[in-house]
Amino acid sequence: MTIRVALLHRTSYRFTEPAVLGPHLVRLRPAPHTRTRILGYSLEVRPTSHQLHWQQDPFGNWQARVFFLEPTDRLDVTVDLLAEMAVVDPFAFYVEPEASTWPFSYEPGLEVDLRPYLETEPAGPAFTALLESIPRTPAYTVTFLVELNRRLAEQIAYLVRMEPGVQTLEETLERGSGSCRDTGWLLVQLCRRLGIAARFVSGYLIQLAGDPEGSDGPIEDIPDLHAWAEVFLPGAGWIGFDPTSGLLAGEGHIPLAASPRPDHAAPISGTASQDSAGFEHAMELTRILERPRPLRPFVPDQWACVAALGREIDARTAAAGLELKLGRGDAPALAADWETSLAALETHYAEGDGVTFRLDGLPATTPPWPLVVEAPFAARPDLSASVVRYWQRHPALSYFFSGGRVGPDGPAPRLDELGAERLGEVALALETGAGIGDLLTDAAGDPGGAELVLPEATDRLAIRAFGAAPQPRMAALEGLLVKALMLRFAQEPCRLALDDHGYDLHDRFMLPYWLWRDLEEVLAELAAFGLAFEPAWFAAQAGFRTPILGSIEIAGVRLELRAALEPVRLMASEAGGIRLVDDSLDRLEVRVIGEVGRGRVVTCNGWALPLAPVPDGGHVAAVRFRARSLPRQLHPTIGVTTPLTFDLVDTALGRSLGGCRYHVGKPDGGVFDAAPVNDLAAESRRLARFEAMGHTAGMIQPRRLSPLPHQPYTLDLRRARG
């Protein structure tokens, strides 16, 4: 969901005549403990004749202390911040065993530290009645707090209240309504009465429109000043609970000030020689960078262009007198036009189960979901030959849209993955015009298991390299791409020779960077044919199949980690002919942008990466490692490698200039007990496993593995010893 937003917050006070302003405290800077990444921040105060000093209060909050040098009839405070709205799992914390069941007691020394957060106000009859209604039976602490938070959200109606300060506890309960400040303070006092340290938090709340349209959530992006509570749980620290919504604080909650009392968290406080005659408050939220993603793969203008291109391809196909139909699945209903094909996909997805994810948040491998084409293949041998030639020349058409399991032992192997001899035989068959059906098979000789399935004397071709896309429009775009290629082949047959990719096939073309470059070449050739596919339309597909795992900037060098492809391996047959698959390995891509070489080396776990320069600047390499331990696997004595520590090393200094860590599982060493329920939960797990810190300590001299000819782009950590 990673989206960058700009928040502009203006607060203005007007006076009927110039007023003398006393010192003001402005608490509108994100607190150090915010989990939302703040990319930029600016505070502007007018009148300009003032002195501003940044300081931290006793509770660690940032506050600007402003001294005004002359009277003024206007006070303006403007905040402009840039934030990265990356998904946060609010339950990603650990609670110490002694505090995992409520009621619990804090360790004596810790209780002394928490005394300001355990102070209570006098209890009136309504508050006492609420307190007595809470069961005292032992319960899992987190569940107890979640239920208490939800109860207040259901019991106290939310209202916008412009008056300063908070209501008394009795007022909030008797009225059954209050602002976020009132409900937040009520939760703080309840928790303290129940023996749980709590503090009041003021901050920004950014709510993004439901994704996709029509799902739960607001219909438009909403920024606001907000308040909630944080409770202290041993082992977990301060955890945010928002009793206005009944939810835990997430990436949209940006704390500005947290303190034992609400008056110490007021956004702006100060004195003036006269009351203000007017008050204005305005907030604007703008999406400044929105990476396409499965839930929202196209912005509206993009999809309008895709649909227009779909209609254009239909028109050109009809004008050429070409009968061309598409469908998805093993026994598809074929459609000749764009609208019918899209409607069929939308119906399928409405009835289907959607995509699934691995425990670590990466897409789960899926069986092929063939894209079936009906065209005059029997009458036009050049058409089927064009498909064979073009698919073989462009690995992106085999790997970019795959369901994850690639390679000669995968469910839809390319013809050149079965050896150079097979490639030569196919080339000879294409030259002589002989049938190639006996050559389009999998490793076991099954023609139904090949990437391209074209039964003799039929007009149906199944392209089995496609996996299930996470969204119907993404699947429709895949079909449109294939249809455009078929239209081109029908009018301009591909007569190029087959391309021996050699070792590049399972080394360079396992990396997202090179697959994207190859896809761009395909799209450029279609554009030259008059069918303008935009590469940006496929960005969501790239983000889904090979998601970014994390990035960091160190001394002017940017490191970006992205999931890459890894071929599966079949084990030897067991009793009954069963063959297990070894998919215990993972591969990731490291993209380096900035100056390396000249005494700068990027390492993984101390081993220098085989970085290769790329055409558009920077360098790329791959890291291959064991990510899972299986009951049966190749090289069983090689264990799981975690974490992966990446460093930018200055070899002259013998020191790391900085680095990051990527964890195979939970950073705390635990394990995920269930797969993510959706794409947002999956992204949250991926982001949680990346740490933008953790370089190698002390002196470091990069070690180097002797390069292997069949994987010059890849550092295989299974070979690393010591």
Contacts of 460 (CB under 8 A, 6+ apart): 372, 373, 374, 377, 454
Rg of the Cα atoms in the chain: 30
Q: Each residue of 669-684: pLDDT tens digit?
A: 778 888 888 888 888 8
Q: Is 237 left (phi over 0), alpha (psi -120 to 50) or beta?
A: left
Under 8 Å between Cβ of 246 and 152 = yes
List, in sequence order, every beta strand (DSSP E) within 564-689. 569-570, 581-582, 585-593, 600-604, 607-608, 612-613, 619-626, 644-650, 655-662
DSSP H helix total and E strand total for the chain:
14, 34
Of 258-262, 271-275, 321-325, 362-366, least confident by mean pLDDT is 362-366
* DSSP secondary structure letter of residue 335: B
Q: Mark whether 537 and 553 lie in a shared domain.
A: no
Look at 608 and 86; give whichever has higher pLDDT. Answer: 608
Number of C-beta neighbours around residue 133 at 10 A? 8
- CATH code of residue 248: 3.10.620.30
Under 8 Å between Cβ of 354 and 470 = yes
Q: Does residue 664 form part of some domain?
A: yes
User: What is the C-alpha separation between 557 and 596, in angstroms, rounded?
Assistant: 8
Number of domains in the chain: 3
> 542, 560, 588: which is the final residue of a domain?
542
Confidence of residue 113 (pLDDT cuts 50, 70, 90): very high
Which pLDDT score, from 0 to 100, does residue 575 have?
A: 73
Average pLDDT over residues 343-348: 92
Q: Mark whether 476 and 405 lie in a shared domain.
A: yes
Q: Mark whether 625 and 535 lie in a shared domain.
A: no
String of DSSP letters for 503-543: GGGGTGGGSHHHHHHHHHHHHHHHHHTT----GGGGHHHHH
Q: Each residue of 177-186: pLDDT tens digit?
A: 999 999 999 9
Which pLDDT score, from 0 to 100, does residue 675 have?
A: 87
Q: Mark whether 495 and 602 lie in a shared domain.
A: no
> 255, 279, 294: which is the final residue of a domain?
255
Residue 57 main-chain phi, psi, to 5 deg: -80, 180
Q: Mark whether 533 and 635 lie in a shared domain.
A: no
Distance of alpha carbon 459 from the chain centroid: 41
**Would the pLDDT of 215 be above 60?**
no
Q: Mark whether 575 and 528 lie in a shared domain.
A: no
Q: Does residue 346 form part of some domain?
A: yes
User: What is the C-alpha separation between 73 and 513, in angstroms, rounded?
Assistant: 58
Length of the chain: 722
Q: Each residue of 374-413: pLDDT tens digit?
A: 999 999 999 999 999 999 999 999 999 998 889 999 999 9
Using alpha carbons only, what angle is made at residue 661 by residues 656 and 665, rounded to the nearest 5 degrees?
160
Using alpha carbons only, what angle is made at residue 205 by residues 204 and 208, rounded to the nearest 5 degrees?
135
Q: What percent of the chain has pLDDT over 90?
A: 78
The parent domain of residue 414 ranges over 309-542
Q: Mark whether 529 and 569 lie in a shared domain.
A: no
Q: What percent of the chain has pLDDT over 70?
A: 98
Q: Does residue 88 form part of some domain?
A: no
For the chain, the average pLDDT equals 93
Q: Does residue 70 form part of some domain?
A: no
Structure tokens at 185: 């303070």
Q: Does residue 167 form part of some domain?
A: yes
Average pLDDT over residues 340-356: 86
Confidence of residue 163 (pLDDT cuts 50, 70, 90): confident
Which pLDDT score, from 0 to 100, does residue 309 have?
A: 97
Q: Does residue 122 form part of some domain?
A: yes
435 CB burial (10 A radius; 0-12, 13-18, 19+):
middle
Q: Mark whether 196 and 316 lie in a shared domain.
A: no
The amino acid present at 341, given as its one-letter code, is S
Which pLDDT score, from 0 to 100, does residue 403 have?
A: 85
**Would the pLDDT of 705 be above 80?**
yes
Q: Mark whether 643 and 553 lie in a shared domain.
A: yes
Which pLDDT score, from 0 to 100, does residue 165 have?
A: 86
Confidence of residue 365 (pLDDT cuts 50, 70, 90): confident
Q: Each residue of 19-60: pLDDT tens digit?
A: 999 999 999 999 999 999 999 999 999 999 999 999 999 999
> 489, 514, 542: which is the final residue of a domain?
542
Q: Does residue 683 form part of some domain?
A: yes
Q: Mark whether 209 and 128 lie in a shared domain.
A: yes
Ordered strands of the 600-604 beta sheet: 607-608, 600-604, 644-650, 655-662, 690-691
Which pLDDT score, from 0 to 100, does residue 211 have?
A: 63
Average pLDDT over residues 83-106: 93
Under 8 Å between Cβ of 91 and 687 = no
Look at 359 and 129; give whichever has higher pLDDT. Answer: 129
Q: Mark whether 493 and 561 lie in a shared domain.
A: no
Q: Each residue of 552-579: pLDDT tens digit?
A: 999 999 999 999 999 999 888 877 777 7
Q: Does residue 120 form part of some domain?
A: yes
Q: Each residue of 422-445: pLDDT tens digit?
A: 999 999 999 988 778 888 999 889
Confidence of residue 214 (pLDDT cuts 50, 70, 90): very low
Q: Which residue has the tokens 């608490």?
A: 27
User: What is the C-alpha separation between 628 and 589, in angstroms, rounded?
Assistant: 18
Q: Which residue has the tokens 């509570």?
A: 229
SS3 letters across 183-198: HHHHHHHHHHHCCCCE
* DSSP secondary structure letter of residue 392: H
Of 45-49, 272-276, 623-627, least confident by mean pLDDT is 272-276
**Would the pLDDT of 549 be above 90?**
yes
Q: Mark whether 248 and 121 lie in a shared domain.
A: yes
